[in-house]
Copies of this chain bind each other. A is one copy, B any other.
């Protein structure tokens, strides 16, 4: 991997130039020089220097995150080639949002592991952008999520559509909105709660031109009262206040069990597509395709299959 970045990671990990220098078997002035150079390349200060060592600035933090990804991606790539040479199979791990995990993935995975105890599938739950991170660095080979609006093209992923979903609105029992069908603007007048927390480092997935239009920012107004990465926390919040929880309709029953009721909408809701993101490079591998197949089947046992838009 890029030498400067390797050294950068070492310095960040060690917390000092001298420490990292020892670890890397080079001298401290070399690192000093190289880190200055890196800062010039990046165009931002990466460290705060003191007589106690080096601490990362927030730009340094961002670079650190991403440099870790790069190193993982790099290592995973070399391993993949080595595996390829040996002719051996690559491990597999899938990611998912919590909705799909509850809806059908859980059972599918349990079944799969019973059937192939030697070749287990690992599962990583999280938000779609984090999963995208993990997939791009080779830690997972596919994940289930909404089609991501405004996703930068040429990112090396395939999207296999599974089903259509729409955003529904959920409120606590006894809420004023529950009497009759409501229009979007009426719903909008209540505080909104959503379960997605964008992190600055994920900006990079989006085309700069479309950054402002993506789904996440639609609700990025003062009326988003509460925003978290935890669905359970959203439910808690909506139960305790008059806020409206926005989420895929597929969790309707799940929410109902927890005391949240769907608001009937006046207008036809906007639909979105859910499906599987796969690393393009892994398409065609037998086990990958089989898993896609299984997920598709499991999904369609519960949800209507996807049909191309009219």
Q: Does A98 contact B (CB under 8 A)?
A: yes
- Find residues 224-249 in chain A having any chain B CB closer than 8 Å to their own CB: 224-233, 236-237, 240-241
Docked-complex contact A203 and B2, CB < 8 angstroms: no
Q: Is the CB of A83 within 8 A of B203?
A: yes
The verdict on A69 contacting chain B, using a C-beta distance below 8 Å, is: yes
**Contact present for B101 and A236 (CB under 8 Å):** yes
Cβ contacts under 8 Å, A203 to chain B: 13, 76, 79-80, 83
Are A228 and B134 CB-contacts (below 8 A) given A69-B73, A73-B66?
no
Q: Is A53 an interface residue (CB 8 A)?
A: yes
Q: What count of chain A residues pass the 8 Å CB interface test?
A: 94
Known A106-B237, A154-B53, A281-B65; contact A229-B126, beta-carbon cutoff 8 A: yes
Q: Pick the contact of A204 from B70, B73, B240 — CB < 8 Å?
A: B73
- Tell me if A123 counts as interface (CB < 8 A to partner B): yes
A120 in the interface, Cβ–Cβ < 8 Å? yes
CB of A147 within 8 Å of the partner chain = no
Report which A residues bind B (CB closer than 8 A): 1-2, 12-15, 19, 42-44, 52-53, 55-56, 58-59, 61-70, 72-74, 76-85, 88, 98, 101-102, 106-107, 109-110, 113-114, 117-118, 120, 122-126, 133-134, 136-139, 152, 154-156, 191, 197, 199-201, 203-205, 208, 222, 224-233, 236-237, 240-241, 279-281
